[in-house]
């Protein structure tokens, strides 16, 4: 049995013993005597997550180690914080929140751009045992109002503006409009004034961040129950009733600390960069909490993969700060590949320190995998997880044993996750047969224990379909070697004349075309066959091709690789695909447009004009 197999089997066969050992990596106010009870991890333990992220490293003599590097090409700013400096800022911010009446169990909404104060705000809440809910900066006022009403914050922490490559986005008017619309009234708002667009403050409600924090007395850490919530994160694209994923303190700290070394192979003192946003789960887990719990240096990047100023932006950050592990979304790498298909910008920088490139958030197509692997000459590791899980479900755990890579697969389930592929009746599918990806209970530490103020919806959404299992909502299969293949959301499987076909499989074929930068395939209603696949493709920079010729080539390619049963005959060349700000392609909205249904552009969309282009193309 290999090293990985032994670790994995122990995690499944002896989960309580396995996670009790992992829990020794965390400092506890009251150590866990009970590891698991009724699906909750470490129910009798107490700790403080902020203490584990900051104080304990300073107390261990590592106060001078760099904790956070803020790199902002949109403002021309680079600033580093040591663990001691970050602790001081967090303690004083926590003191301000305490003075504003924030206590254990209270909620605080954080509506901020990618600035150090956003990280500080999250840790300050954790320091007090308060529950933070980060709302992606720049969200529409109505969407922010819904979240404020649901979270019912005592205080809102925000900034005057966010900065995009081509514009400044004023946040304060959006916040003011949201507070007008919301039924809940937070007691105070604390506003970080940025020089690019200072905001008018409402007397009696709004405080200036800098002066308020400067005058505050530092606050100490407040221990909470391991099962108490650390944060609420509303899933992207939320419509109707908010869907707030809850993360607890104890299981979260144990799982993230364990994952940093075992999944990502990261060691204390190394530079770890998750090129995401603090408004998403990746930002929560691997910009803020994971690296700091592990004593690493984390990078906070206020910029884009291209355009700030060029497709070499990521490589500049890696070289300048000595990044050892880079984690980003496939869509970011595809954007870089589109603008710099030859990889010339990467060759301008010394990338010898970079050891791993981890990708997650969208399916990693083999073409993008090979491009990045050939360019960087390092392991390019696809891994798969969800907002609900909080950390990887399937990955190549390089800190345990690096397994052979199979392009198109995020490798094997991570220790702790008993992944099963189930058919419609709940029976396990044989290797190579697609079904619903489910996880046999109990879920490992760090996964959501419930939805905020909605236990019934939690049960209905995740646990009721297959008793004894958590339903991920994704479809896929396991191969003979136990490698997982995630083919997309269950509703991304289309039915063509009675044949169930994966749009993800078609996307893999199309993405392999030398002129295609990225693509999306959706099923469109058809009277004769039920559904027909339609592809939308973005061509690489410099690929000046006749769209009709591209369509003929892609049709032939799908016919060759999948067969005529796919009935793929339409490929539309577009300038860009509609995506959320986290890089997920809005396939559901695209289907609504194609089928002539009413649709609403989600508040998470990066560029609303991209939907108009899809509508015009159809």
**Shared-domain flag, residues 187 and 288:** yes
Predicted pLDDT of residue 239: 43
> What's the CATH number where 511 sits?
3.30.300.30
For residue 123, tell me if it sits in a domain.
yes
Question: Which range is least confidently modeled, 299-303, 496-500, 538-542?
Answer: 496-500
**Shared-domain flag, residues 466 and 394:** yes
Cis ω for the linkage preceding 108 (within 30 of 0)? no
Tell me the pLDDT tens digit for each residue of 575-595. 999 988 777 888 888 888 888
Predicted pLDDT of residue 238: 38
**Shared-domain flag, residues 387 and 527:** no
Whether the per-residue pLDDT at 425 is higher than 80: the answer is: yes
Domain assignment of residue 24, given as a range? 3-303+383-476
For residue 195, tell me if it sits in a domain.
yes
**Shared-domain flag, residues 101 and 130:** yes
Predicted pLDDT of residue 331: 84
Predicted pLDDT of residue 498: 56
**Shared-domain flag, residues 523 and 405:** no
> What's the CATH number where 262 sits?
3.40.50.12780
For residues 277-284, average pLDDT: 94
What separation, in Å, do the N-terminal and C-terminal C-alpha atoms of the chain show?
54
Residue at which a domain ends, from 476, 505, 526: 476
Tell me the pLDDT tens digit for each residue of 98-142. 999 999 999 999 999 999 999 999 999 999 999 999 998 877 788
Whether the per-residue pLDDT at 184 is higher than 60: the answer is: yes
For residue 484, tell me if it sits in a domain.
no
Tell me the pLDDT tens digit for each residue of 12-29. 999 999 999 999 999 999
Q: Is 454 helix (H, G, I), strand (E, B) or coil?
A: coil
Predicted pLDDT of residue 97: 98
For residue 466, tell me if it sits in a domain.
yes
Predicted pLDDT of residue 584: 80
For residues 147-160, average pLDDT: 97
**Shared-domain flag, residues 545 and 421:** no
* Neighbouring residues of 292: CB distance < 8 A, sequence distance ≥ 6: 53, 54, 57, 67, 123, 298
DSSP per position, 510-579: HHTSTTEEEEEEEEEEETTTEEEEEEEEEEPTT----HHHHHHHHHHHHHHHT-GGG---EEEE-S---B
Which long-range contacts does 375-380 make (Cβ < 8 Å, 24+ apart)? 375/343, 375/346, 376/346, 376/351, 378/354, 379/355, 379/405, 380/405
Residue at which a domain ends, from 446, 476, 506: 476
Predicted pLDDT of residue 237: 41
For residues 406-433, average pLDDT: 96
CA 608/CA 599 separation, integer angstroms? 12
Whether the per-residue pLDDT at 603 is higher than 80: the answer is: no
Predicted pLDDT of residue 612: 83
For residue 172, tell me if it sits in a domain.
yes
CA 255/CA 259 separation, integer angstroms? 6
Tell me the pLDDT tens digit for each residue of 349-363. 999 999 999 999 877
**Shared-domain flag, residues 404 and 521:** no
Whether the per-residue pLDDT at 409 is higher than 60: the answer is: yes
How many other CB atoms are found less than 10 A from the CB of residue 556? Answer: 11
For residues 536-543, average pLDDT: 91
Residue at which a domain ends, from 410, 445, 476: 476
DSSP per position, 97-157: HHHTT--TT-EEEEE--SSHHHHHHHHHHHHHT-EEEE--TT--HHHHHHHHHHH--SEEE
Q: In the beta sheet, which residues pair with residue 291? A: none
Task: Find out whether 395 and 383 touch, Cβ atoms under 8 Å.
Answer: yes
Model confidence band, residue 492 (pLDDT cutoffs 50, 70, 90) = low
For residues 498-521, average pLDDT: 84
For residue 368, tell me if it sits in a domain.
no
Predicted pLDDT of residue 84: 98
**Shared-domain flag, residues 97 and 168:** yes
**Shared-domain flag, residues 178 and 119:** yes
For residue 486, tell me if it sits in a domain.
no
Predicted pLDDT of residue 361: 84
**Shared-domain flag, residues 399 and 537:** no
Tell me the pLDDT tens digit for each residue of 191-210. 999 999 999 999 999 999 99
For residues 202-221, average pLDDT: 97
For the chain, what is the domain count?
2
**Shared-domain flag, residues 506 and 460:** no
Q: Computed over its alpha carbons, how large is the radius of gyration of the chain? A: 24
Whether the per-residue pLDDT at 503 is higher than 60: the answer is: yes
CA 270/CA 290 separation, integer angstroms? 13
CA 611/CA 608 separation, integer angstroms? 6
Predicted pLDDT of residue 275: 97
More confident residue, 291 or 602: 291
Predicted pLDDT of residue 200: 96
**Shared-domain flag, residues 24 and 164:** yes
Predicted pLDDT of residue 497: 59
Q: Considering the chain, what is the average pLDDT of its residues?
A: 93
For residue 348, tell me if it sits in a domain.
no
Whether the per-residue pLDDT at 611 is higher than 90: the answer is: no
């Amino acid at each position: 049995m290999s090293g990985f197999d032994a670790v994995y089997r122990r995690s499944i066969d002896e989960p309580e013993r396995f996670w009790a050992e992992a829990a020794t990596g965390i400092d506890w106010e009251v150590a866990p005597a009970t590891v698991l009870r009724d699906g909750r991890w470490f129910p009798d333990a107490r700790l403080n997550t902020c203490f584990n992220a900051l104080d304990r490293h300073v107390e261990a003599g590592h106060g001078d180690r760099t904790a956070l590097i803020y790199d902002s090409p949109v403002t021309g700013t680079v600033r580093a914080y040591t663990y001691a400096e970050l602790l001081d800022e967090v303690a004083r911010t926590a003191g301000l929140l305490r003075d504003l009446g924030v206590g254990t169990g209270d909620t605080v909404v954080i509506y901020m751009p990618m600035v150090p104060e956003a990280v500080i705000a999250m840790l300050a809440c954790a320091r007090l045992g308060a529950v933070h809910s980060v709302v992606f900066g720049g969200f529409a006022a109505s969407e922010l109002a819904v979240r404020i009403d649901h979270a019912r914050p005592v205080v809102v922490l925000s900034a005057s503006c966010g900065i995009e490559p081509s514009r400044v986005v004023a946040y304060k008017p959006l916040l003011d409009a949201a507070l007008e619309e919301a039924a809940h009234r937070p007691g105070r708002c604390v506003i970080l004034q940025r020089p690019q667009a200072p905001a008018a403050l409402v007397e009696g409600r709004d405080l200036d961040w800098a002066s308020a924090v400067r005058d505050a007395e530092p606050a100490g850490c407040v221990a909470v129950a391991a099962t108490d919530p650390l944060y609420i994160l509303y899933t992207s694209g939320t419509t109707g009733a908010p869907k707030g994923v809850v993360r607890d303190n104890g299981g979260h700290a144990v799982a993230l600390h364990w994952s940093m070394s075992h999944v990502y192979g990261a060691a204390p003192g190394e530079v770890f960069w998750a090129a995401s946003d603090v408004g998403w789960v990746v930002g929560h887990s691997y910009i803020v909490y994971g690296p700091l719990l592990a004593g690493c240096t984390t990078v906070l990047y206020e910029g884009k993969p291209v355009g700030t100023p060029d497709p070499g932006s990521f490589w500049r950050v890696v070289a300048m700060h000595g990044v050892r592990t880079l984690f980003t979304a496939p869509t970011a790498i595809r954007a870089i590949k589109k603008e710099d298909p030859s990889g010339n910008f990467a060759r301008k920088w010394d990338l010898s320190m970079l050891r791993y490139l981890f990708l997650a958030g969208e399916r990693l197509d083999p073409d993008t995998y090979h491009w990045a692997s050939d360019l960087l000459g390092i392991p390019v590791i696809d891994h798969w997880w969800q907002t609900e899980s909080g950390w990887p479900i399937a990955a190549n755990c390089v800190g345990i044993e690096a397994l052979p890579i199979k392009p198109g697969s995020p490798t094997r389930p991570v220790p702790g996750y008993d992944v099963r592929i189930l058919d419609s009746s709940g029976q396990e599918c044989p290797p190579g047969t697609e079904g619903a990806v489910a996880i046999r209970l109990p879920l490992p530490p760090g996964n959501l224990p419930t939805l905020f103020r909605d236990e019934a919806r939690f049960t209905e959404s995740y646990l009721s379909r297959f008793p004894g299992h958590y339903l991920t909502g994704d479809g896929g299969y396991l191969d003979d070697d136990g490698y997982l293949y995630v083919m997309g959301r269950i509703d991304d499987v289309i039915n063509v004349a009675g044949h169930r076909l994966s749009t993800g499989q078609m996307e893999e074929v199309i993405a392999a075309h030398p002129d295609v930068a990225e693509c999306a395939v959706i099923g469109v209603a058809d009277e004769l066959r039920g559904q027909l696949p339609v592809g939308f493709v973005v061509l690489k920079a410099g690929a000046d091709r006749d769209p009709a010729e591209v369509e003929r080539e892609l049709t032939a390619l799908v016919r060759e690789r999948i067969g005529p049963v796919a009935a793929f005959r339409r490929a539309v060349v577009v300038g860009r695909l509609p995506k959320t700000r986290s890089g997920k392609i809005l396939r559901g909205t695209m289907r609504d447009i194609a089928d002539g249904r009413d649709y609403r552009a989600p508040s998470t969309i990066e560029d609303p004009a991209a939907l108009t282009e899809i509508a015009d193309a159809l």
